[in-house]
Amino acid sequence: MNGEVKIEEFILTRHWWALAIRGLLALIFGLIILFDPGIAVEVFIILFGIFALADGLCALIAGLSSAGRGHRPALIFQGLAGIAAGIIAFLWPGITILVLLLLIAAWALITGILEIIVAFQLPSGEKGKGLLGASGVLSIIIGLILFAHPIVGMVVGIWIIGIYAIIAAITLFSLAFIVRRAQKQA
């Protein structure tokens, strides 16, 4: 093995289904937002809270079950950030769209940075490494856009987040498919 870790030993391979679940949640979240952009702020906040909490729980479970791996702290921190974002959305559902957009921007930046860290910690040539890194870059770009222009308007902000969620869903489904196929071949 020459110090290399086989793909089946990586958390992404063992938990391909978590990527698929995250993709499904992102897709549902994005489609709801795009098909009803006039959705009430409170409902939008609750939908975001559910998505962030579920995504955070999946990342936390993946991090906690990856004992001894270098990417464990990044996954745990990503999970805790998602859980915190979800809890904040539930505790203060009346927060303004501006605060929510800034919360989502911070969450997207943290998630993006941590996905890139995990992607770089995977061995060279690892299947799905590029998709995970691309997802991280996309998260950072969306976070920066929302921080730079927080008053882009509720509908525009919601559309940006809806499109982002669908792109993230496609990325996560693709990554889950690649990892699952690699697991079957291993």
Tens-digit pLDDT profile for the chain (186 aa)? 444 444 444 555 567 788 888 889 889 988 988 887 766 566 777 888 898 899 999 889 888 887 666 678 888 888 999 999 899 888 877 665 677 778 888 988 999 999 899 888 887 777 778 888 898 998 899 888 888 877 665 567 677 788 888 998 998 888 888 888 877 776
Q: Is residue 1 part of a domain?
A: no
Q: Is residue 173 part of a domain?
A: yes
| Domain, as residue range, for 12 | 8-185
Question: Smallest Cα–Cα separation from 100: which of 83, 84, 88, 112?
Answer: 88
Q: Is residue 3 part of a domain?
A: no
Q: What does the block give as tokens for 14?
A: 């063992």
- The model's pTM: 0.52
User: What b/e readout covers 50-86, taking b as 16+ CB neighbours within 10 angstroms?
Assistant: bbbbbbbbbbbbbbeebeebebbebbbbbbebbbbbb
Q: Is residue 2 part of a domain?
A: no
Q: What does the block give as tokens for 71?
A: 């990417």
Question: Smallest Cα–Cα separation from 137: which of 120, 150, 154?
Answer: 120
> What's the structural domain count of the chain?
1
